[in-house]
Homo-oligomer: A and B are copies of this chain.
Amino acid sequence: MSVNKPGRTILASTISKIYDEEIRQKVESLRPLRPEGPLLVGFLANSDPAAEMYARWTQKTSEALGIRYELRRFADKDLLEENIIEANNDDGVDGIMIYFPVFGNAQDQYLQQTVCKEKDVEGLNHVYYQNLYHNVRYLDDHETLKSILPCTPLAIVKILEYLKIYNPLLPDGNQMYGKKCVVVNRSEIVGRPLAALLANDGATVYSVDVNNIQKFTRGEGLSAIKHHVEDLGDYSEQLLRDVCRDADIVITGVPSESYKFPTEYIRDGAICINFSSFKNFSEDVKTKASLYVPMTGKVTIAMLLRNMLRLVDNREKIKAMRQ
């Protein structure tokens, strides 16, 4: 195979370390309120090696930046709910996250919503999603409490900023104007909120799942604050090829070891980002992609910690308002 135009690979660690200093300073500024550093608690009740690795990395990153991290393991999944509620009510806990899957079915969505929004570092609470989908940036009318974004979609936005795809010369909320993205995954956790986020920032997003392909746009006119969704048709290789033809960015998140995005569909010079824990792009992706980000986990962890510090801020502001 001739690799005459090798693209550049950008590692998540290169991008995540940009946030190290910001996080460290914030932890320092919270020192009067959290002398030992804020506490993040992870709940783990599976033996998924990807979850284990993610937990280990979160611990390592947290501790390097002055944040305390505690992993609480449960052999009995049914104990998780009560223990999460206890952590919700424990003033010593600043952030809570769950390593999914727990039950591996719709009960996981129930469990997810038991984490109170005030400590939901992953940004998975319904309130945060509803704000995201409606492009609402604050939790209150006075715009003092910032809403939280789900951490993986947010990490991908930050990666696109780093890669200079978000154009800082354009006004906020328009920095993806004119860009075409393909997102292969439409989960409620990452794919759908990501498509909405990018559309809210002006991009045209082709959202792909096994059933069909949809087009997300910001909607007509400047007044439309919510993204617009249009069904393009049932999934087919031909339709995928068509939407990829002029895609500036291809983002994959297929949770399967065997899945590979067809390299020949990628436009010459496109940006390729994979957020699955499996490598969704083949080795030859660099013959097409100008910039290639093979994994995103470390940026997600940085966003997790940033979200937690924002939640501490919000809680302290609410406390101050009540006094």
Contacts and interface: CB of A to CB of B under 8 A. Distances in A.
B126 A187 contact: no
A226 B113 CA distance: 18
A130 interface: yes
A78 B229 contact: yes
A188 B78 contact: no
Contacts of A130: 114
B107 A106 contact: no
A126 B115 CA distance: 11
A215 to B, nearest CB: 11
Contacts of A114: 126, 130
A177 interface: no
Given A81-B133, A226-B82, A126 B110 contact: yes
A275 interface: no
A218 to B, nearest CB: 14
A187 B106 contact: yes
A192 B188 CA distance: 22
A113 B187 CA distance: 17
A78 B226 CA distance: 11
B109 A188 contact: yes
Contacts of A188: 106-107, 109-110
Interface in A182-229: 187-188, 192, 226, 228-229
A268 B192 CA distance: 51
Main secondary structure of the interface of A (DSSP, over half): helix
A126 B129 CA distance: 15
Nearest to A214: B78
A274 to B, nearest CB: 22
A256 to B, nearest CB: 17
A107 B226 contact: no
A149 to B, nearest CB: 16
A69 B107 CA distance: 32
A269 to B, nearest CB: 32
A101 to B, nearest CB: 13
A192 B126 contact: no
Contacts of A187: 106
Given A113-B126, A114-B126, 12 more contacts: A78-B228, A81-B133, A82-B226, A106-B187, A106-B188, A107-B188, A107-B192, A109-B109, A110-B126, A110-B129, A110-B188, A114-B130
11 contacts: A78-B228, A78-B229, A82-B226, A106-B106, A107-B192, A109-B109, A110-B126, A110-B129, A110-B188, A114-B130, A126-B126
Closest 3 CB pairs of A and B: A106-B188, A113-B126, A78-B229
